[in-house]
Amino acid sequence: MNIQAKFKTDHCHSEYFLAAKSYRMSDFLHHFEKIKVKDQAIANYLEEIGIEKWSRANFSAIRYNIMTSNNAESFNNTSRDARKYPITTLAEFLRYTLQTWFFERRTLAMESNKPLPTKIEKKLEDRIEATKTLIVQPLSQSSMYACIDGYSKSRHQSILLVFLVLYS
């Protein structure tokens, strides 16, 4: 149930939002303590429904700290109009859409002779090309090196990688 509807107030809304979206437990506890100070009844209600159900920091399974994904939002947007139709039509639309997407992706994957997707291969190729101009210089007697952009005018501002550890 919506907190504003149940308690007829919104004075804890911002703290609830910050607590729910916090990634770190320390941030969550900070905001949840503010909720307790402002309104103990709301804090009790949130604890009763289960903090792990609405807080990112307390979620027990692997959710990668997000409540939705772009794929889910994209799929919801695609199926928005189809939701108006009877359930059998909706189910057929969803089956057809997913089948089409997976067929297209499988076809692209089968055409590729590389182990990674084409977009990732392109990014790697671009990054490899960019590293060809780097100059590697030792930082100390140990195995730490700095990679410096050889074309930059101010070399001290262009350190890209500091501490490459080489294993011997």
Taking the CA atoms of 80, 84, 90 and 96 in sequence, report the sign of the dihedral they define: negative
Q: What is the pTM of this model?
A: 0.38
Question: Domain ranges in the chain?
Answer: 3-53, 70-111, 130-162
Task: Kindly give the residue spans of alpha helices, DSSP state H, lying in 22-86.
Answer: 25-38, 40-49, 70-78
Percentage of residues in the chain with pLDDT exceeding 70?
A: 73
Q: What is the pLDDT of residues 85-107, one digit of tens each?
A: 999 999 999 999 889 988 988 88
By three-state DSSP, how is residue 136 classified?
strand
Separation CA 82–CA 129 (nearest Å): 46
**Residues of the chain by 3-state class (helix, strand, coil), percent to 5:** 55, 10, 35
Beta bridge partner(s), residue 147? 136, 161
Query: Which pLDDT value is given to residue 1?
Result: 53
Q: What is the pLDDT of residues 12-56, one digit of tens each?
A: 888 888 898 888 888 889 999 999 999 899 999 989 988 888 888
Average pLDDT (54-82) is: 69
Separation CA 31–CA 19 (nearest Å): 5
